[in-house]
Amino acid sequence: MVKTATFEALLDDAKPDGQGGFTFTLEGETYALRDKDEVKIIAEQHGYIIIY
């Protein structure tokens, strides 16, 4: 199965955590991020092809 996501949609799912970082949930797993750009790396680890 091919999984795709737009970069903008992934960024929308990165929510401020109130401590200067972000929380991001993908496929039921929640990640603590320092920078929103980390969503790309996480999505690719889950097998997503990112569309810009």
Q: What is the pLDDT of residue 22?
A: 97
Q: What is the pLDDT of residue 25?
A: 96
Q: How far apart are CA 45 and CA 28, in angstroms?
A: 14
Q: What is the pLDDT of residue 47?
A: 97
Query: Residue 6: what are its φ and ψ, rounded to 5°?
Result: -80, 150
pLDDT at residue 1 greater than cutoff 90: no
3-state secondary structure of 20: coil
Q: How far apart are CA 36 and CA 42, in angstroms?
A: 11
Which pLDDT tens digit goes with each residue over 5-41? 999 999 999 999 999 999 999 999 999 999 999 999 9
> Where along the chain do its domains lie?
3-51
